[in-house]
Amino acid sequence: QFLKNFNTENDHTLTFAPEAIEVLMNCEFPGNIRELENCVQRTAVLATGPSILRTDFACYADQCLAAALWKNGPPTSEKSTTIQPSAACAAPPVGDGQAPIGPATTRGRVPDADTVIAAMEKCGWVQAKAARLLGLTPRQIGYVLRKRGIEIKRL
């Protein structure tokens, strides 16, 4: 139904490949239909062919932050490593092929509050820079800030 709505609203004719349905069946969406709808919409927007394939889903590559939060549960007392020097806040060169620097580069792991606060302070409370430092997107760091209840300091 979500893909049908997307197709109608965006004048597309995307379909799900059988393997894509299998990916959706294995995803963690405990009681939250909006997460499923958002996942379908994001995948449909980024799909490159006439059908949505298994490889089109972020969770297939273990890059879905929402799924990682559901799988990992509440934060633990486990502390991550220290943050790299503040020069790491600079934008990485385009196409360098290297993974982002920082403790969140382990896919599926959500940084703890102390790590996020340290990154935000090191980057002058600029979310986009802290996100790059941690290997997240600006949208993901915004979600982590809300999820962890971290108040954004205005400088």
Domain end, chosen from 12, 31, 64, is at 64
Q: What digits encode the pLDDT tens for the residues 17-26?
A: 888 888 777 7
How far is residue 37's CA from residue 39's CA, in Å, rounded to a whole number? 5
Can you give the residue range of the structural domain that contains 140?
Answer: 86-148
Assess if residue 7 is contained within a domain: yes
Assess if residue 102 is contained within a domain: yes
Indicate whether 60 and 111 sit together in one domain: no
Q: DSSP for 61-97, please give it.
A: GT--HHHHHHHH-S--S---PPPPPGGGGSPPPTT--
- pTM exceeds 0.85 for this model: no
Q: What digits encode the pLDDT tens for the residues 7-54?
A: 888 888 888 888 888 877 777 666 677 777 888 888 888 788 888 888
The confidence score (pLDDT) of residue 79 equals 47
Indicate whether 7 and 55 sit together in one domain: yes
Q: What CATH number is given to the structural domain containing 42?
A: 1.10.8.60
Domain end, chosen from 32, 64, 96, is at 64
How far is residue 8's CA from residue 101's CA, in Å, rounded to a whole number? 41
Q: Which residue has tokens 């799924």?
A: 67
Indicate whether 91 and 58 sit together in one domain: no
Q: How far is CA 60 from the centre of its chain?
A: 12
Tally the domains of the chain.
2
How far is residue 138's CA from residue 127's CA, in Å, rounded to a whole number? 6
Helix (H) or strand (E) holding 51: strand 51-52
Indicate whether 92 and 60 sit together in one domain: no
**Alpha helix stretches (DSSP H) within the chain:** 2-10, 18-26, 33-46, 65-72, 113-122, 127-134, 138-148
Q: What CATH number is given to the structural domain containing 136?
A: 1.10.10
Assess if residue 136 is contained within a domain: yes
Indicate whether 6 and 50 sit together in one domain: yes
How far is residue 111's CA from residue 101's CA, in Å, rounded to a whole number? 13
Mean pLDDT of the chain: 73
Indicate whether 91 and 54 sit together in one domain: no
